Chain A
Amino acid sequence: MRNLEEFFLEPACGLNLEKSEKERKKGCSKPQPGSASGGCAFDGAQITLLPIADAVHIVHGPIACAGNSWDNRGTRSSISDYYRMGFTTDMKAMDVIHGGERKLYNAIIEAVKKYNPPAVFVYQTCVPAMIGDDIVSVCKRASEELGLPVIPVESPGFVGSKNLGNKLAGDALFKYVIGTKEPEYTTPYDINLLGEYNIAGELWQVIPLFRELGIRVLACITGDANFYSVATAHRAKVNMVVCSKALLSLARKMEEKYGIPYFEGSFYGIKDTSDALRNIAKLLGDQELIEKTERLIAQKEEETRRKLEPYIEKLRGKRVLINTGGVKSWSMVSQVQELGMVVVGTSSKKSTKEDKERMLSLLGDEGKLIDDPNPKELVKLFRELKVDVLMAGGRSKFVAIKEGIPFLDTNQERIKPYAGYDGMIILAQELVRTIYSPVFELYKEAPPWQY
């Protein structure tokens, strides 16, 4: 196992810069026994890499790692179905005793012979890591034998949290994938999107905007990606890190090695989308493109605002409570404020000091920061603050529904895409539908047979 320290010392990470020397040595926050929730590093690595849809992803471990997590993300692809199939070596007691290297090797050969993918990703999990299976050597041998890239992803679950897994996967991409192929042609307007996983097809709401500007998304890492495009990512002119602290180190490393400038942005909300487009145009540094971008932004903003009008009328003054994590909590705040709604609270877990300040300035007097509430506290807060709708992830979903609270899923399990200008309209529609749904009133009444 290699040294994990470099990931804890990430210089581009805002959360890290705030820490003292001593805190930094301790590394990122560790999961606590008995009160931890959320996925492991292996989960994080899968999240980052599985959307590379034409590659075969073999999970080397017992059945729980692949079987229990099979197809649990909302990412979409237009290329292939391999990412949803779930390949695993399904280690059993005998494999633990005798070692799983041979089985892994055979599994790689079998999968490649049958499915003929352009590349194979192999994920290390806890059990083979403990018995000392050397997946790097196995991958190297298989790669030589088959003549195609076989990439080891060393992300056994016990090394840390989901976020660390994202970083480890980014590292695997940097080490083994990016820069191994050349694009057929390059344009001065090639960009990469980092940390956009095409959840519910959000990438497809953004791509048309770029197309209109003549910007080519060379590689999206990794939403709707194919292996070839990711391998050619080093030829892009700008990297945009989309709403995720996870792939920041990858962006920094690419800047150092290939001189690609990067910035952090988001596609949630009218303002953020416009800002992102502006930033890209500025970094590409073409005067004509900058003017063209301004024209497109003006036209799209006008069009979106006009389409939003009927919804804003219904949503104005409605009170909303947001419970998500990280960057999303403030980018979403500005998004719903654009709809004329009042944000009465947003969670500040996983947020940096900078994030928090940004949130506070956005919230004004009305809103307050809440710190990772458990379901009970959330319901209490909801009642106290007289909230009209709760925007949160799947973890609060069933609590909210059972309590008869209007709820909108805004996490990775969501079904509707909320990115870009079109996403804004969809969000407004969903909010109106949720808030004005009669079901939450009917739910509180006695059933007809009890009248």
Chain B
Amino acid sequence: MAILKESNKACSVYPLKLSQPLGAIYFLLGIKGCMPLMHGSQGCAAFAKTLLTRTFLENIPIQTTALSEIATVIGSDDNLHTAIENIVKKNDPDIVGIVSTGVSETKRGRR
């Protein structure tokens, strides 16, 4: 039987592990006409985009709500609305798939 072993080290080296939101995006990309929208800082989407682009050698559409430090404190709903509006205006997708990230989840926990 396989044994699942949790590391008890504080420092991960050679992090051969990708984030959960990346998996969600991977899933959403399989849906025709879907634009994944990452609810987090712009880097969350940029890293996922470069990584998937490098892996598949394809242009990968991912958008971001580009949360700023102020938005994470005061409220990020505005960003989400503007982002959806902009995406619909610019790309006209069939579906917008919203993926939460560490940033938006941490914020939700604090509310």
Contact = CB atoms under 8 A, between A and B. Distances in A.
A286 B109 CA distance: 63
Contact of B80 (A33, A37, A39, A395): A33
A105 to B, nearest CB: 8
A61 B102 contact: yes
Contacts of B9: 110
Given A33-B64, A106-B11, A158-B72, A130 B47 contact: no
Interface in B1-40: 9-15, 17-19, 21-22, 37, 40
Interface of B: 9-15, 17-19, 21-22, 37, 40-51, 53-54, 57-59, 63-69, 71-72, 79-80, 82-87, 90, 101-103, 106-107, 109-110
A378 B45 CA distance: 23
Contact of B19 (A68, A105, A161, A399): A68
Contacts of A70: 15
29 contacts: A31-B42, A31-B64, A31-B66, A33-B65, A34-B85, A34-B87, A35-B90, A40-B41, A40-B42, A40-B46, A43-B46, A62-B102, A63-B12, A63-B15, A64-B18, A64-B22, A65-B43, A68-B18, A68-B47, A90-B12, A90-B15, A97-B109, A130-B72, A130-B103, A157-B41, A157-B42, A158-B72, A158-B103, A394-B53
A86 interface: yes
Interface of A: 1, 30-43, 58, 61-70, 72, 85-91, 96-97, 103-108, 110-111, 126-127, 129-131, 156-161, 375, 394-395, 398-399
Given A158-B103, A159-B69, A64 B64 contact: no
A395 B50 CA distance: 9
A62 B11 CA distance: 12
Contact of B82 (A34, A43, A127): A34
A133 to B, nearest CB: 11
B41 A158 contact: yes
Given A34-B90, A41-B43, A85 B14 contact: yes
B102 A126 contact: yes
Contacts of A42: 43
Contacts of B107: 130
A96 B15 contact: no
Given A89-B12, A130-B72, A399-B59, A34 B102 contact: no
